[in-house]
Amino acid sequence: MDAGKAGSTLKTHCSAQCLDVCKWLIPFILSCCVYFCLWIPEDQPSWVAALVKCLPIFCLAGFLWVVSPGGSYTRLLQGALLCSAVGDACLIWPEAFLHGVAAFATAHLLYLWAFGLSPPKPGLLLLIFLASGPYLILMLLHLELDMVLPVAAYGLILMAMLWRGLVWGGSAGWGALLFTLSDGVLAWDAFAQPLPHARLAIMTTYYAAQLLISLSAPRSPGPKTD
């Protein structure tokens, strides 16, 4: 009986926690709806456009503050989200592109710090490099000389974040994959050849990636060891 009661109590607690998480995700969902409904044209940069684009990320930072207060993992994720919001704002204006790259690189470094470096799993890193390296090199061939170094550095940081996200596992791993996919589509559309509906693909995978990484905080399971 005691074991049964304990199991029932645990189930009730998990259900209540799930409902609480869903409740605090409503601002993020609504702000995403606002972004996609307004769909402010990219050739009309403004602070309103920047705010609308950044609002879902601010909502995720607030979500973490409510559902997973304290702890270094949560604080690092919040820092990464705020850096991402800076990057989002910078990318509204083409002349601030490199500032946006720097902000997102900082965000990925914070995610990498949160995921940690243990266990190392070098084989996974090699696999990611072999899969992503040729794509990065192809993108670099389309760049002007002054853009090669910052974009190459960003690409390597992104690969490192993906590596550690996959080692961490769970929703963080899926989020890291979607973040990489989003940036890959953005790079091809910006540097190689315009893609149909590129912005829609970029932003849906981007917001989903940030959400999945943020959802790893309430449980914070730690890296897989198997």
The least confident of 2-6, 182-186, 192-196 is 2-6
pLDDT band (50, 70, 90) for residue 218 = confident
Q: What is the pLDDT, as a whole number, of residue 18?
A: 82
Point out the least confidently predicted range of 193-197, 198-202, 217-221.
217-221
User: Cis link prior to 41 (omega < 30° from 0)?
Assistant: no
Q: How confident is the model at residue 21 (pLDDT cuts 50, 70, 90)?
A: confident
Cα gap 84→92, rounded to integer Å: 13
- CA-CA distance, 65 to 76, in Å (whole number)? 12
116: pLDDT strictly greater than 80: yes
For residues 177 and 169, give the distance between their C-alpha atoms in angstroms, rounded to a whole number.
Answer: 11
- Name the pLDDT band for 224 (thresholds 50, 70, 90): low
The residue type of 46 is: S
- Residue 4: the pLDDT is 58
- Give the CA radius of gyration of the chain: 19
**In the chain, domain spans:** 22-218
Q: What is the pLDDT of residue 187?
A: 97
User: What pLDDT does 70 receive?
Assistant: 81
Average pLDDT, the chain: 92
Note the pLDDT of residue 1.
47
User: Per-residue pLDDT tens for 144-191?
Assistant: 999 999 999 999 999 999 999 999 999 999 999 999 999 999 999 999
pLDDT, tens only, 32-77: 999 999 999 999 999 999 999 999 999 999 999 999 888 999 999 9
Q: What is the 3-state secondary structure (H, E, C) of the chain?
A: CHHHHHHHHHHHHHHHHHHHHHHHCHHHHHHHHHHHHHCCCCCCCCHHHHHHHHHHHHHHHHHHHHHCCCCHHHHHHHHHHHHHHHHHHHCCCHHHHHHHHHHHHHHHHHHHHHHCCCCCCHHHHHHHHHHHHHHHHHHHCCCCHHHHHHHHHHHHHHHHHHHHHHHHCHHHHHHHHHHHHHHHHHHHHHHHCCCCCHHHHHHHHHHHHHHHHHHCCCCCCCCCCC
Give the separation between CA 172 and CA 170, rounded to whole angstroms: 5
